[in-house]
Amino acid sequence: MRFLKKFPSIHFQTKVTRLFANMEHFCVHFRTHLEPPKANQTLQRYLKSKSTIKALLFFRDLMRENTSLIDSYSLLFVIKACTQKSLAPEGKQIHAVVVKFGCEPIIFLQSSLVNMYSATGNLGDAHFLFDEMPNKNVVCWTALILAYVNNQKPNKALELFRQMQMANVEPDQVTVTVALTACADLGALDMGEWIHAYISQRKELNTDLCLNNALINMYAKCGDIATAKRLFHNIKKKDVTTWTSMIVGHALHGQAEAALELFAAMKGENTSRIRRKRKGGSRVNLVDPNDVTFIGVLMACSHAGMVEEGKRHFKSMIEDYGLKPRLPHFGCMVDLLCRAGELKEVYKFILGLPVQPNSVVWRTLLGACSVHGNVELAAEARRHLLESEDSLAGDDVVMSNIYASRGMWDEKVIIRDEIKQRRDPGCSSIEVGSCIYEFVNADDDHLLANEIYVVLNQLIKHMRGYSYALRTLEPSQY
C-alpha cells in the first residue's frame, strides 16, 4: 500500500476535463448498456487509434458510474494509453486505481506500469515498483532493462542484465535484443560478444531477423565493422532495419563511400525485384529506405564533404519517398554545409527551417564559425543559444576564443566575465571483464583508485625514460 499513500487521488486533471468537455456526450452514450467485454473493446479501439483523451474520459466515466465494468484488461488499456502520450500525472493516478482495485500482483499490469514510468522519464518510481514485485519473471526484468536503455542509461541496463542472470532468470529473445541495444549505445564490444556467444549456445533462442539486426547494430556501433558485414551478408531476407544498421554503422565510422555504396545496393535490390515482377515473378516486397536510413546517408555525405550529393539525397528523401524530414535530418544538412565552409548558406537554411531549430543546430554553426573565424555569425548563433534552455558554458568559451583569435580582447573579457556556470567534467569509460567503468577528472571514488594511480605513475616513469616531459603525480593531484 506504499504507492497508495504516494498517489492518493484518482481524479483526473481538471484542465483535461475542461479541455475535452465536449467529449462527455460520447461517454454518456456507453454508460448503461456496456458489458465488460464491450467496455474493454472500446478502450482497446481508442488505444489502437491513439485517442488517448477519449480513452481517459471513457475510463473516468466507468469509474464514476459502474466500477463493476472495470477489470484488469481495462486497467491495462488505460495504462498503455498514458504510456503512448507520456502522461505522468494521469499515469500515477491510474497506478493508484490499480492499487485500490487490488490488482498489484498481476504481472502484466506491473510490467505495463514500469513501461509507463519509463515513458515519462521517471526511472526512480519504475525501479521502486520493480523492487516491490514479490515475483519477478523475465517480462518484469526486461521491462526495467528497457526503461534504462530508453532513458539513455545503458550502463545501468547491462548491470541489471547481469543481476537478472544471477537471479537465475533466463533471458528471452526480447531481453537479449534490448541488452544488445545497450551494448551498442555504450560501445561495450566484449559484453556484446559474450551475449552473441550466449545466443549461439542457447538453441531455444531463435535467431530471428530482429535479433540479427540487433547484432549487426551492436557490432557496427562498437567498431567491429568486419563482423557486422559478415552477419549482414549472411542474412538472405533483409528488411529496412538490416540495411539501415549497416549504412549507419559505416557512416558513424567515417566510411562514407561504403555507406553510400550500400545505399545504392539497397535501391538496386528494389529495382531488381521490380524487374522480376514485370517478368511474371512472384509477389514482390520492396524494402524502401526510411527516415533513419537517410540520417545515415546524410552523415556519410557530411563526413566525405559531398555537399551536392547530400543535397540530392535530401531532396530525394522528400520527393521520391515522401518522407518528412525531422530535426536530425536538418542537423545533418547543417553539419554538411558547415564542414564545407558555406556558413552564410547554413544561416539561411536554419532560418528557413519548418521547425524550431534546437541547440545542437546552433552549436554546430557556432563551432563552424570558430573554425572559419566568422565573428558575426558566431555572435548570432550564441544569441540563439542564450535564448534556449540548453545554453552551456562551453558555448561562451567557444565565443570568447573566437574573439581572442581576432584580437578582440575587450569582447573576450566581457564574455568570460558573463560565464556563471561550470562545465560538466568530461567522462571516460573503459570495459574490463564485461563491466563498464566510468571516470571523470580528479576521480578517486573507484574501489581500486590507489592501484590505478600506481599503474599510471609507473607508465609515466617509463614515458619519462623516453624523454617525455611529465612529472609524477600523486592521486590527490589528478
Q: For residue 313, with 0-12 CB atoms within 10 Å meaning exposed, 13-18 middle and 19 or more buried, which class applies?
A: buried
Assess if residue 315 is contained within a domain: yes
Give mean pLDDT, residues 461-476: 59
Assess if residue 343 is contained within a domain: no
Block residue for cell numbers 467529449: 23
Q: What region does 49 belong to: left with phi over 0, alpha with psi -120 to 50, or beta?
A: alpha
pLDDT band at 233 (very low <50, low <70, confident <90, very high): very high
Assess if residue 89 is contained within a domain: yes
Domain end residue (candidates: 135, 169, 194): 135
Q: What is the pLDDT of residue 222?
A: 93
More confident residue, 96 or 433: 96
- The whole-angstrom distance between residue 369's C-alpha and the CA centroid of its chain comes to 29
Q: What is the pLDDT of residue 449?
A: 76
Q: Which cell goes with 104?
A: 498489484
Assess if residue 53 is contained within a domain: yes
More confident residue, 466 or 254: 254
For residue 164, which of 188, 192, 130, 190 has the smallest C-alpha distance?
130
Q: Does the structure show a pLDDT above 50 at 232?
A: yes
Q: Give the model confidence (pLDDT) of 208-225 as tens digits.
A: 889 999 999 999 999 999
pLDDT band at 14 (very low <50, low <70, confident <90, very high): very low
Q: For residue 259, with 0-12 CB atoms within 10 Å meaning exposed, 13-18 middle and 19 or more buried, which class applies?
A: buried
Q: What is the pLDDT of residue 24?
A: 41
Give mean pLDDT, residues 422-446: 65
Q: Which cell goes with 31?
A: 454508460
Percent of the chain with pLDDT over 90: 55
Are 10 and 121 members of one domain? yes
Give mean pLDDT, residues 341-353: 92
Assess if residue 82 is contained within a domain: yes
Q: Does the structure show a pLDDT above 50 at 13?
A: no
CB-based contact 211:244 (threshold 8 Å): no
Q: Give the model confidence (pLDDT) of 71-93 as tens digits.
A: 999 999 999 999 999 999 999 99
Assess if residue 166 is contained within a domain: no
Q: Does the structure show a pLDDT above 70 at 401?
A: yes
User: What is the C-alpha separation between 11 and 446, in angstroms, rounded?
Assistant: 47
Q: Does the structure show a pLDDT above 60 at 36?
A: no
Domain end residue (candidates: 111, 135, 159): 135
Q: What is the pLDDT of residue 442?
A: 63
Give mean pLDDT, residues 18-31: 38
Are 243 and 116 members of one domain? no
Which amino acid appears at position 169 of this protein? Answer: V
pLDDT band at 396 (very low <50, low <70, confident <90, very high): confident
Q: Does the structure show a pLDDT above 70 at 252?
A: yes
CB-based contact 369:381 (threshold 8 Å): yes
pLDDT band at 460 (very low <50, low <70, confident <90, very high): confident
Q: How many domains does the chain have?
A: 3
Q: Does the structure show a pLDDT above 50 at 267?
A: yes
For residue 225, which of 233, 216, 237 has the smallest C-alpha distance?
216
More confident residue, 330 or 23: 330
What residues contact 235, with CB distance under 8 A and at least 6 apart?
A: 209, 212, 242
Extended beta strands in 367-471, E state: 427-432, 435-440
Q: Give the model confidence (pLDDT) of 146-182 as tens digits.
A: 999 999 999 999 999 999 999 999 999 999 999 999 9
More confident residue, 128 or 23: 128
pLDDT band at 30 (very low <50, low <70, confident <90, very high): very low
User: What is the C-alpha separation between 259 and 300, in angstroms, rounded?
Assistant: 6
Are 250 and 125 members of one domain? no
Winning range, highest mean pLDDT, from 29-43, 198-212, 267-281: 198-212
Q: What is the pLDDT of residue 451?
A: 81
User: What is the C-alpha separation between 196 and 165, in angstroms, rounded?
Assistant: 15
Mean per-residue pLDDT of the chain: 83
Domain span including residue 454:
442-477
Q: Give the model confidence (pLDDT) of 189-214 as tens digits.
A: 999 999 999 998 887 776 788 999 99
pTM: 0.76
Domain end residue (candidates: 135, 156, 173): 135
More confident residue, 430 or 237: 237
More confident residue, 303 or 463: 303
Are 126 and 248 members of one domain? no
- The whole-angstrom distance between residue 159's C-alpha and the CA centroid of its chain comes to 18
Q: Does the structure show a pLDDT above 50 at 333?
A: yes
pLDDT band at 322 (very low <50, low <70, confident <90, very high): very high
User: What is the C-alpha separation between 427 and 281, in angstroms, rounded?
Assistant: 56
Assess if residue 20 is contained within a domain: yes
pLDDT band at 472 (very low <50, low <70, confident <90, very high): very low
Q: Does the structure show a pLDDT above 90 at 130?
A: yes
Q: What is the pLDDT of residue 459?
A: 85
Q: What is the pLDDT of residue 8?
A: 39
